[in-house]
Structure 1
Amino acid sequence: MIEHASQKQLCDKVQHSYHLIGKKWIGLIIHTLMEEPKRFSEIHAYIPDLSKRVLNERMKELEDDGIVIRNVITDRPVRTEYSLTRKGTELGKALQTIENWAEKWL
């Protein structure tokens, strides 16, 4: 019975991860943030087909999941940057494997 519970817990986690990375634009947003923090407008410039409304939704989802952190920089002018958390960086490294596969096979 204990084994069944841990298998269900693992299945739930795997399902949640596929649901997250399967959402349109999530992978590209994470890819964009891998090298350095970026402002909203910079992320949008990297992915011009992504509407600002959807980008805003995805950024909130990634923030809620602990993958992205929103940093308000109080210098003049005040600006907001987004960066990956440790959790987000590890996800980005995992997605790099898919990028390598795409480069080779697509």
Structure 2
Amino acid sequence: MKLRHILFLAALTCGASAMAQAERGRVGVNATAPTERLHVNGTARIQSLPKAGEGVTTSAAGQYDQTKANHFDPKRVVVANAQGVFGSMPGAWPLFFYLPGYIMPTDVSAPEYDGT
């Protein structure tokens, strides 16, 4: 019976350490030496994100607020560099939409027309 408990605890500990590693305030998922606050070595998935105007549980002061009194007001865009490090930059709605001119052939017998 005692051996079963030891094996169970060993398996539980090994499984937990394989899933996430914490080092100096940084957490690594499938990473033994995390280089950022959250380091994910593999594919990440975020199941849901708030839409503009939806209530969120983060207060204006950055604290947890279960009332969702604050509304999500997106102002920044998430970007990543070549090493996969995420950052943010100011985001704004475009003031105009530019579409370069597109020339459509009207004379299909013209030598410039290639059939596409």
Relative to total residues, which structure has the larger helix share, 1 or 2? 1
**Which TM-score band applies after superposition, normalised by the shorter structure?**
under 0.3
TM-score for the superposition, normalised by structure 1: 0.27
Q: Which has the larger radius of gyration?
A: 2
Relative to total residues, which structure has the larger strand share, 1 or 2? 2
TM-score for the superposition, normalised by structure 2: 0.25
